[in-house]
Amino acid sequence: MDSFSQNPELTTSIMAVEFEGGVVIGADSRTTTGAYIANRVTDKLTPIHERIFCCRSGSAADTQAIADAVTYQLGFHSIELDEAPLVQTAASLFREMCYRYREELMAGIIVAGWDPRRGGQVYTVPVGGMMTRQPVSVGGSGSSYIYGYVDSNYRAGMSKEECLKFTAEALTLAMERDGSSGGVVRLAVVSEQGVERQVILGNQLPKFSTV
């Protein structure tokens, strides 16, 4: 079995949470080509505009190409409007592309950011090209394992620190069970003040094992 003949995949765990004043987004850092980890420190949190990010899962090539195209379109739109673009606009652009080319693409994207009109927002655009806004959204192959954890632990009205802890813990649990997710946890907080990024290395991840 030639593991290099497969396309690079972001088999992954990604997550985004809204809080009062912004969003917290997070992702693992593994890119695989078959069984080989092509990149163990990938950055799946891609800036689309100053205060709008996307979390990418699925085919690495497809999601990079879509993100580049949307970044261009949104930048142009923002210049025409002469103001910061809405997160919903960015999400709609992703949806347009993911739906129109749904047969050719393999991309699951979470769009999250802050705009002056509606504050922190998370929109999910899964494979197939649907778009919906959710207060908390998870994606990628590792997300299956943490639906129960996220459903039971999310509360509306969490603070920024609580959201960071919640996201880091959820992604750690997903990475522990999903062989296709791993590496480090990358987090970012997007708010009116701008973007703060952080990385949690493997040995600093929260510990759950009772062994």
**What residues between 157 and 176 interact with another protein by CB under 8 A?**
169-170, 173-174, 176
Candidates 76, 83, 155, 192; binder of another protein (CB under 8 A) is: 155
Q: Of 128, 80, 114, whose CA–CA distance to 189 is shortest?
A: 114
User: Could you say whether residue 177 binds another protein (CB under 8 A)?
Assistant: yes
- Alpha-carbon distance values, 106 to 45, 61, 109, 162, 179 (Å): 17, 9, 10, 32, 20
Query: Contact at 8 Å (CB) between 17 and 23?
Result: yes
The size of the interface with another protein (CB under 8 A), counted in residues, is 22
Candidates 128, 148, 179, 202; binder of another protein (CB under 8 A) is: 148
Whole-number Å distance between alpha carbons of 182 and 175: 5
User: Could you say whether residue 207 binds another protein (CB under 8 A)?
Assistant: no
> Segment contacting another protein (CB under 8 A): 29-37, 99-107, 153-161, 194-202?
153-161
User: Could you say whether residue 146 binds another protein (CB under 8 A)?
Assistant: yes
Distance of CA 130 to the CA centre of its chain: 16
Nearer to another protein, 203 or 210 (CB): 210
> Segment contacting another protein (CB under 8 A): 28-36, 62-70, 82-90, 145-153?
145-153
The beta-strand segments (E) located in the chain are: 9-10, 14-19, 22-27, 31-33, 36-39, 45-49, 52-59, 107-115, 119-125, 132-133, 136-139, 185-191, 194-200
12 is catalytic: yes
Q: How far is the CB of 35 from another protein (least distance, A)?
A: 15
User: Could you say whether residue 154 binds another protein (CB under 8 A)?
Assistant: yes
Q: Of 60, 62, 98, whose CA–CA distance to 180 is shortest?
A: 60
**What does the binding site for another protein look like in residue numbers (CB under 8 A)?**
141, 144-152, 154-156, 169-170, 173-174, 176-177, 208-210
